[in-house]
A = this chain, B = another copy of it.
Amino acid sequence: MNSKPITRYLTAALTVLALVHGGPAFSASTSHQNHNPLPSWNDGKAKQAIIAFVAQVTEPGSPDFVPPAERIAVFDNDGTLWPEQPMYFQVLFALDRVKALAPQHPEWKETEPFASLLKGDVKGALAGGKRAILDIIMTTHAGNTTEEFETIVKDWLAKARHPTTNRPYTDMVYQPMLEVLDYLRANGFKTFIVSGGGIEFMRPWVEDVYGVPPEQVIGSSIKVEYEMRDGEPVLVRLPELDFYDDKEGKPVAIHQQIGRRPLAAFGNSDGDLQMLQWTTAGKGPRFALYVHHTDAEREWAYDRESSFGRLDKGLEEARENGWTVVDMKEDWNLIYPHEAK
């Protein structure tokens, strides 16, 4: 490490800042020179591409230097920061909600998709695709206040276990992507989640797990209504779609809620394609990365044929445009944080 006075000064400054701020410190623009900032990444094209891009836009004096305020990075969640198999984790949450709510809804025994779900026929109930899933989600996610729902999500996450790994869902985040989030933030990037998942399903835990504050979480949403209950204002969740943050919806949400075009976008499916197109169509250097699920042993291997996280057209465009494609099996030396020794 450089030991020039300015470097020492800077390090001291950032240490103090971290103490004062109580959160991840904004760090020097030379952080990308840190020794191995992405330890869970094997040396290879993907890792090199990430590091080279960060250097290109943050090196003072670089012709492609971008001021910190404009360093926006957007991340899909399902399949990009945590898995989406055997199905989106939020769907698994919704299925548990159906079971929990069933005693209050005797009519569900004869109403689809609930009847199939309650008989254990998940596949039949989900045959209607993403929109059908959203309908199930809306029914099981509405009718309570925003604060009640937050508690329901937290309680579920504390107890629920993944059907095949038997681990808490929040243990199943990708360690290499946690490192990318940290690395970008250490280089002055503001990291956002832009997910097809529900904002209120993500916000209760993503700050602790990913270091992304709630105001930087963009996702699908249902409508909420302001109401006075016993003189206290509450926001009540309605069974009505507000915004579906997938495909063309992603650049739209990025524009409406961030208002700047990202410098870098990370996804894993065709649902992220428009977000990557929109990002890379900006002027100057831009970065796009697809996580390709190639590791059937440590995670899952799927792309063109998958019901969840289908990656087909995106893979073609990545090849045509020279986007970075992560081969999970080859590029990541570990998948989950608990694998670290």
Bound Cα distance A322, B167 (Å) = 50
State whether the Cβ of A129 lies closer than 8 Å to any Cβ in chain B: no
Bound Cα distance A46, B221 (Å) = 38
Which residues 248-287 of A sit at the B interface, judged by CB distance below 8 A?
248, 251-252, 255-260, 274, 277-278, 281
Stoichiometry, copies per complex: 2
Question: Is B20 in contact with A26, judged by CB distance below 8 angstroms?
Answer: yes
Question: Is A215 in contact with B260, judged by CB distance below 8 angstroms?
Answer: yes
State whether the Cβ of A214 lies closer than 8 Å to any Cβ in chain B: yes
State whether the Cβ of A328 lies closer than 8 Å to any Cβ in chain B: no
Question: Is A199 in contact with B13, judged by CB distance below 8 angstroms?
Answer: no
Pick the residue among B188, B215, B233, B251 that contacts A235 (CB under 8 A). B251
Question: Is B23 in contact with A28, judged by CB distance below 8 angstroms?
Answer: no
Question: Is B13 in contact with A17, judged by CB distance below 8 angstroms?
Answer: yes
State whether the Cβ of A115 lies closer than 8 Å to any Cβ in chain B: no
A146-B255, A226-B278, A252-B226 are known contacts. Are A20 and B16 too (CB-CB below 8 A)?
Answer: no
Task: Report A80 CB to chain B, min CB distance, Å.
Answer: 20
Which residues of A are interface residues toward B (Cβ below 8 A)?
Answer: 9-10, 12-14, 16-17, 20-23, 26, 28-29, 67-69, 72, 146, 188, 190, 199, 203, 207, 213-217, 221, 224-226, 232-233, 235, 242, 248, 251-252, 255-260, 274, 277-278, 281
The 9 lowest CB-CB distance pairs between A and B, nearest first, are: A214-B259, A13-B13, A226-B248, A13-B16, A215-B258, A203-B259, A22-B67, A226-B251, A233-B277
